[in-house]
A and B are shown apart, each in its own frame.
Chain A
């Protein structure tokens, strides 16, 4: 059983749509990361959160520690948002060496 599950695996949206990507985990964590990987491969950190909600531009990340669930929302989606979004968690009591990654959600936004 994967300790970090993302859904959906693939998502196609029309430009302007509101998008939600989900991440569920089965272990105790100290922090959760949302990463973005563009075609061509580079990975960029979008958010790191341990509670509540964070917002950056059109991106919003939320986490519910009790329910072991996080969501990444994209408002007013744009084709440039097309990428793979990866959820990763730091194990409770662990270091950065104890990061566990989800398999990613591939998002395609059509114009």
Chain B
């Protein structure tokens, strides 16, 4: 079965750039999305269609995909960005699948 692999945790200093990766076989051929989830809250979509940002999501969030990897980049990371981040992929053969999630710590 298809799997998406994310690092368990990532740490970043305030104001720096955070990079969270998501790896899967030929992931670049699928459509990727990213979700942010804060404790006790429902997830929020922050990137879809690989690199599209929904209305209301700050510009510091960006996404890209290449080869077997999708990447979420947070530029100028803020304390409020501390959260769990989940990648998600779709194509017509695998349907919807989620990665295991990455805990982002801002310290």
Mutual binders A and B: no
